[in-house]
């Protein structure tokens, strides 16, 4: 009788121990707070031995969440997460697919990790171009996205990809070849600081969470200090944006990234009351009727001079902003192979964009400032 009781006691003790262990593991995995503050498209949960990265908005209106688990020692990933894509960090070799990914690599001191990219001519970073010229980075363009065969031959530890839809056959082919593909949705973000916070996505890959956080926090501080400069401004200059492409004038919607900047810089964007985060499709007549007397024209497409504007469409000259030489472009500053620096660096440096716009709209607030991205048309 005593023996049976002893065995039962041991069994129950083991049962309780295992149950507690499982419960502790479950609690630990669910107890950590998401460390992402501004971005809506991803989440980070940092544990002592691993980090869980969840991409919740890899493309517009995505319904699926993609989970990646990153660790120095993959054996320390709990069983409950082993079904997810696991990545050993720090990553040593990577392929990225958007120029918006480049500044994060440079800021984190990881430019040497980049081994392949589609359309190398779009990259403007001096550091990365030096590696391109040295033959360290492979051209992966196949006129659509990354070249499948060349990417497989490179065998990078990770591929940071962007996709417009759920059924991306190229990504599936790369995954079927055994490559680890992480979806990046920085382009979906609509707020300045939301876009910039994606540097934390790359911080995890290179085991530089802290460095990424410090870098991002400095951007937040600079951005908020710039906002303080104009917090008491009462008179808002009237602003419009965009230009014609074929027969359509494309302009930022009222909840878009650029509209957000104009608001923070204390400008009155004429289409600020429209819904949506993409582009408006307008007729020239509609824009002329509403914006003919607007004070400031920001972002006239690819045009960098008043002569180009006039030669493309003589009706551009009918806007007061054109007549008064108050047109400003982000397309003038280019890298050595023609890439527009704004498209590459701007998402990571919202503080500089905001300062550029404050200088344009309220020059008395930044009288000694030299614009970085957005310049007066020539």
This prediction's pTM: 0.89
CATH of 233-376 given 2.60.40.10, 2.30.40.10, 3.40.50.1980, 1.10.150.120 = 3.40.50.1980
Locate tokens 């957000």: which residue? 260
Locate tokens 């995954």: which residue? 175
What's the pLDDT at 162? 87
What's the pLDDT at 145? 74
Locate tokens 């970073």: which residue? 125
What's the pLDDT at 15? 39
Domains of the chain, by residue range, sit at 28-220, 233-376
Alpha helices in the chain, H assignment, sequence order: 2-31, 102-107, 126-133, 148-154, 169-176, 192-196, 199-205, 209-229, 257-264, 284-291, 306-312, 320-323, 341-345, 350-361
Locate tokens 């403007």: which residue? 124
Q: Which stretches of the chain drop beneath a pLDDT of 70?
A: 1-31, 144
For 240-272, the pLDDT digits (tens) are 999 999 999 999 999 999 999 999 999 999 999
Say if residue 354 is exposed, middle or buried (CB neighbours under 10 Å; 0-12, 13-18, 19+). Answer: buried
What's the pLDDT at 47? 96
Say if residue 133 is exposed, middle or buried (CB neighbours under 10 Å; 0-12, 13-18, 19+). Answer: exposed
- Domain 28-220 and domain 233-376, same fold? Reply is yes
| 67: β partners | 54
| Paired sense of beta strands 375-376 and 327-329, if any | antiparallel
**What are the strands of the beta sheet with 238-241, ordered from one edge?**
268-269, 238-241, 296-298, 327-329, 375-376
Q: Phi, psi (5° rounding) for residue 64?
A: -110, 140
Fold of 28-220: Rossmann fold (3.40.50)
What's the pLDDT at 68? 98
């Amino acid at each position: 009788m005593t023996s049976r009781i002893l065995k039962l006691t041991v069994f129950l003790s083991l049962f309780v121990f295992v149950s507690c262990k499982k419960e502790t593991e479950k609690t630990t995995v669910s107890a950590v707070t998401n460390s992402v503050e501004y971005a809506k498209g991803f989440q980070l949960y940092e544990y002592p031995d691993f980090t869980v990265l969840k991409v919740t908005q890899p493309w517009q209106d995505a319904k699926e969440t993609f989970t990646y688990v990153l660790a120095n020692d993959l054996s320390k990933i709990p069983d409950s997460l082993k079904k997810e894509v696991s990545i050993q960090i720090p990553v040593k070799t990577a392929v990225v697919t958007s120029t918006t990914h480049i500044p994060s690599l440079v800021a984190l001191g990881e430019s040497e990790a980049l081994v392949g990219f589609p359309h190398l001519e779009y990259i403007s970073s001096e550091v990365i171009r030096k590696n391109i010229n040295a033959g360290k980075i492979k051209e992966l363009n196949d006129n659509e996205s990354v070249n499948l065969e060349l990417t497989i031959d490179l065998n990078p530890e990770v591929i940071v990809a962007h996709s417009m839809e759920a059924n991306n056959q190229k990504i599936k082919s790369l995954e079927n070849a055994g490559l680890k593909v992480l979806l990046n949705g920085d382009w979906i973000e609509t707020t300045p600081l939301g876009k910039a916070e994606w540097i934390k996505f790359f911080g995890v890959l290179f085991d530089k969470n802290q460095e990424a956080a410090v870098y991002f926090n400095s951007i937040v501080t600079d951005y908020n200090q710039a906002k303080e400069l104009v917090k008491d401004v009462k008179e808002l200059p009237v602003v419009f944006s965009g230009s014609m492409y074929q027969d359509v004038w494309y302009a930022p919607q009222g909840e878009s990234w650029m509209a957000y900047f104009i608001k923070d810089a204390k400008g009155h964007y004429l289409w600020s009351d429209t819904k949506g985060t993409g582009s408006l499709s307008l007729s020239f007549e509609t824009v002329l009727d509403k914006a003919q007397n607007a004070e400031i024209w920001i972002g006239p497409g690819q045009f960098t001079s008043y002569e180009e504007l006039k030669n493309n469409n003589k009706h551009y000259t009918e806007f007061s902003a054109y007549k008064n030489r108050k047109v400003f472009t982000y397309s003038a500053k280019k890298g050595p192979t023609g890439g527009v620096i704004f498209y590459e660096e701007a998402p990571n440096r919202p503080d500089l964009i905001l300062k550029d716009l404050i200088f344009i709209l309220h020059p008395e607030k930044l009288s000694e400032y030299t614009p970085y991205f957005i310049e007066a048309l020539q």
